[in-house]
């Protein structure tokens, strides 16, 4: 898990494009002030790391606050090469990601606290 709230050493926070498609966020405006947001991690990330990054991006998109309409954990599978008995072998390695929808609020009075839904 990340030692700092806003990032992990060696793993830059940013968009998928900035991080060359290895990890990062991507959002899509789907309605007025409503976004679909995805943050994909690498094989070195935990779900907790990715949740922190997801919430950071949601806060950047909605500086006055947001309501989490939907949020869930997913994983994609990747492979890494590891040495076993002097030979490199491909081993399955899951990559966590968090996806969901958020709706930005218009003013601070509308936010009593950020809504956080349970993960599946």
φ and ψ at residue 52, rounded to 5 degrees: -65, -45
List the domain boundaries for the chain: 24-106
Of the candidates 117, 112, 13, 7, which has an alpha carbon nearest to the alpha carbon of residue 65? Answer: 112
The string of pLDDT tens digits covering residues 14-57 is: 888 777 777 899 999 999 999 999 999 988 889 999 999 999 99
Is the pTM higher than 0.85? The answer reads no
């Amino acid at each position: 898990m990340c030692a700092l709230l806003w990032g992990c050493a060696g793993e830059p926070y940013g968009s998928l494009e900035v991080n060359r498609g290895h990890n990062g966020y991507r959002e899509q405006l789907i309605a007025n002030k409503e976004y679909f947001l995805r943050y994909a991690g690498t094989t070195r990330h935990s779900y907790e790391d990715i949740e922190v990054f997801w919430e950071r991006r949601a806060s950047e998109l909605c500086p006055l606050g947001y309501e989490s309409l939907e949020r869930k954990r997913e994983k994609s599978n990747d492979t890494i090469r590891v040495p076993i008995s002097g030979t490199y072998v491909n081993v399955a390695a899951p990559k966590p990601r968090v996806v969901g929808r958020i709706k930005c609020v218009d003013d601070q009075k509308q936010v009593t606290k950020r809504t956080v839904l349970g993960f599946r």
